[in-house]
A and B are shown apart, each in its own frame.
Chain A
Amino acid sequence: MEVIAEYHLGDIASVVGLFLTIGGFIITFWQIRKSKSAAEQAREAAEGVREQLLKMNAFQGLTAAIRSFEDIRRLHRLKAWQVLPDRYTWLKQELILIKGRTPNLSETHKAQIQGAIQQVSIIEGKVEIALGGADEPEVHRINSVISKQIDQLQQVVVDVQNEIERPRQ
């Protein structure tokens, strides 16, 4: 005990203990940060996968919408007015879903899809009026509009496909 008192070993032990405590605290803090960072990275990776899946859904949805536009264009040529209202309804719902669910869709792409929805609504109105006994719509006029929508949606498909292949970092 005298030796301890003589050489102030108690004070040294306290100082060493303090440093050990601080060191332990730093290591614990670093480990917490590391595990938090790993959790964040895992969350970001999961979010990235979710976004990719939604974009792939959008790609499939847009491709299906283009096929539907082509189908509608053929039915217009055949003047199969009776079967068309259901096709218009499906197409509009599909486009609204794509617009609402696709992440990072640009305002331009959203506007193009909204424009397509509006064009379908206008044609739908004309066909419904014709089914009520009024004059049939002019096929060349409505199909010219349909063809333009197909071209514009095709560009959106290409852009979405590019984003799937080269996702943003």
Chain B
Amino acid sequence: MAEPKLIEIARLLLENTATGGVRWEKTATKGEFQTSFADYAIMIRGPSSEPSLYLSDEDGDIVEELTSYDVYKLEAENLLGPLYEAARRRALGADEALDQILSILRSGKKKA
């Protein structure tokens, strides 16, 4: 049974995404983001209400999958939604955009 390990991976991804240790990028599929390792890649696919996590091997074939249903079964339903949101924000650079705009607006406010 791979779900406990996948849930552990999802938890660590969430922690590492929050600290900036994991880099996400968008894929050719709308609402999907990926992070890659030396021999594997992980994708998370939305919508944020029901995201799924996929693990692919070196050839790009999907070898494991964790759906919202799997997570719900294991009473960890609040894991994939926050991870999806964190991955999306990292991949699209949402935080950097907000920080830059805030910085500009704050400096303008100071000058005024």
Min CB distance, A96 to chain B, in Å? 6
Cβ contact within 8 Å between B25 and A92: no
Cβ contact within 8 Å between A126 and B28: yes
Q: Any chain B CB within 8 A of the CB of A48?
A: no
Interface string of B37-48 (1 = CB under 8 A from A): 111110100000
- Nearest chain-B residue to A149 (Cβ)? B25
Partner of A119, one of B34, B37, B40, B59: B34
Interface string of B52-82 (1 = CB under 8 A from A): 0000101111000000000000000000000
A 12-67 contacts with B by CB, 8 A: none
Cβ contact within 8 Å between B43 and A114: no
Tell me the complex Cα distance, A23–B25, Å.
Answer: 69
Cβ contact within 8 Å between A114 and B59: no
Q: Any chain A CB within 8 A of the CB of B29?
A: yes
Q: Any chain A CB within 8 A of the CB of B30?
A: yes
Chain B interface bracket (under 10, 10 to 19, 20 to 34, 35 or more): 20 to 34
With A92-B59, A92-B60, A111-B36 already in contact, the answer to whether A118 and B41 are too (CB < 8 A) is yes
Cβ contact within 8 Å between B60 and A118: yes
Tell me the complex Cα distance, A120–B34, Å.
Answer: 12
Min CB distance, B13 to chain A, in Å? 14
A 102-125 contacts with B by CB, 8 A: 107, 110-112, 114-115, 117-124
What is the interface size of chain A, counting residues whose CB is below 8 A from a CB of the partner?
A: 23
Tell me the complex Cα distance, A99–B26, Å.
Answer: 22
Q: Any chain B CB within 8 A of the CB of A74?
A: no
Cβ contact within 8 Å between B60 and A122: yes
Partner of B36, one of A112, A120, A126: A112
Cβ contact within 8 Å between A148 and B59: no
Min CB distance, A99 to chain B, in Å? 8
Known: A107-B37, A111-B38, A115-B25. 13 other contacts (CB 8 A): A110-B37, A110-B38, A114-B37, A114-B40, A114-B58, A115-B34, A118-B43, A121-B61, A122-B27, A122-B29, A137-B28, A141-B28, A145-B28
Return the 6 tightest CB-CB contacts between A and B, nearest first.
Answer: A121-B60, A115-B36, A110-B38, A118-B41, A114-B36, A142-B28
A interface list, Cβ under 8 A from B: 92, 96, 99, 107, 110-112, 114-115, 117-124, 126, 137, 141-142, 145, 148
Of the A-B pairs whose beta carbons lie under 8 Å apart in the complex, a sample of 8, sorted by A's number, is A99-B38, A110-B38, A110-B39, A111-B36, A118-B41, A122-B28, A123-B28, A145-B27
